Homo-oligomer: A and B are copies of this chain.
Amino acid sequence: MPLTEAGIYAAALRLIDEDGVEALTMRKLATALDANPMSLYYHVPNKDAVLRGVARMVGAQFRTVKSEDAPWQERIRLLATDFRTLAQRHPRFMGYSFSLQSDFIQPDDPFWIELTAILDAAGVPHSELSHFTALVGFAINGVLTAELTGTLHRWSSLKPPTDGEDGLTPPGLDENRVFHLALDTIIMGLEGQLAVFGEGQGADH
């Protein structure tokens, strides 16, 4: 099996899934590919490019059902959960790339394009469209990152037991609850904002 660019990215992702991004090393990556560490540099300029390649690879897997006729609330929920299930397939990489979002998050990613379209359809004024897209996207991102990096999990274990119960919440259940609660709250907030826009319009004309 000869060395290829795609093969390098795939192997890198495999290593990251196992041991996390911080453990990825050009030298380890090479030995995982049964290759000389220096051979990688013929196919790839440097380590940073490997990470970007992995990001492109994972990002390309993102699929979301196009349901343009559904109400925008439902569409946001769908988009967010689709994105979440993708993120959960590679939690260590996504947790990293979301947080150290230096160059990984681009406004022309399918997620953001779809989110913009949904908010547009919902009635967000064009002048505020990018603001609201950023707000919703990064707020969800914040909750999801906390989930992926395990911060959320370390929290819920500190939660008071549910009134005399055994005190052990089934694993993942709390994460689910917080994520959907966040979605609900943001959507409700958007509904409120849209109502404000409506009022302003009514008063002006």
- A residues in contact (CB < 8 Å) with B: 98-102, 105, 107, 126-128, 130-132, 134-136, 138-143, 145-146, 149-152, 155-156, 158-160, 162-163, 174, 177-178, 181-182, 184-193
Whether the Cβ atoms of A174 and B131 lie closer than 8 Å is yes
A196 to B: closest C-beta gap in Å? 9
Closest 10 CB pairs of A and B: A142-B142, A99-B99, A189-B189, A188-B192, A185-B189, A139-B139, A188-B189, A138-B146, A135-B182, A138-B142
Whether the Cβ atoms of B107 and A158 lie closer than 8 Å is yes
Q: Which residue of B lies closest to A132 (CB)?
A: B181
How far does the alpha carbon of A160 sit from the alpha carbon of B126 in the complex, in Å?
9
Q: Out of B101, B128, B192, which one reaches A189, CB within 8 Å?
A: B192
Whether the Cβ atoms of B105 and A151 lie closer than 8 Å is yes
How far does the alpha carbon of A102 sit from the alpha carbon of B178 in the complex, in Å?
19
Q: Out of B101, B135, B146, B174, which one reaches A143, CB within 8 Å?
A: B135
- Sample 21 A-B pairs with CB under 8 A, ordered by A number: A99-B100, A100-B100, A102-B150, A102-B151, A105-B151, A107-B158, A127-B163, A130-B156, A130-B159, A130-B160, A131-B181, A138-B143, A139-B185, A184-B193, A185-B192, A185-B193, A186-B186, A186-B189, A187-B189, A188-B189, A189-B190
